[in-house]
Amino acid sequence: MKTFKKIDLQRIGLTDTEYFMLEQEIESLNKDKNSDVFSVYFLDCYYFVNEDVKHAIEKIVFYFAKQYQGNYTQCSLRGACSYISQRLNCNLKGIMRLLKGMSYNNTDIYIADTFGLDILGIK
């Protein structure tokens, strides 16, 4: 089963430049689910990545989180991060850090993870 189907790539909404920058990684992950090509984007030293790639990764993570959430108003943050890390074969903590960073700038995402809460909500 492919990780990225044609319909998924259309729904994610990558621009031509963003898709071109990640085309090899997407093809590699579709051929071999154990490929760790996306793991480099979720390391602590994320500063060296091109801005187009950063936006593309954010769109992909947002799409898979929305897919995990389904029709509900909220879901488990750890569950969503685990789902995304299994799909992309990468680090769970890196995805959680990226989602938390996205929630500061985006009002469509809210995260409640203090005092034992484990909530991710996407509008």
Residues sharing a CB contact under 8 Å with residue 4, sequence separation 6 or more, in sequence order: 26, 29, 30
d(CA 21, CA 68): 25
Domain boundaries, the chain: 6-122
The mean pLDDT value for 17-33 works out to 87
Confidence at residue 114, expressed as pLDDT on a 0 to 100 scale? 85
Which of 45-59, 79-93, 105-119 bottoms out in mean pLDDT, i.e. has the lowest? 45-59
What confidence tens digit (pLDDT) does each residue in 29-82 have? 888 888 888 887 887 666 677 888 888 999 999 999 999 998 888 889 999 999
Sheet holding 75-76, edge to edge: 75-76, 119-122, 109-112
Average pLDDT value over all residues in the chain: 86
Residue percentage of the chain with pLDDT more than 90: 21
d(CA 111, CA 105): 12
Among the listed residues 114, 85, 117, the one whose alpha carbon sits nearest the alpha carbon of residue 98: 85
The conformation of residue 17, written as its DSSP 8-state character, comes to H
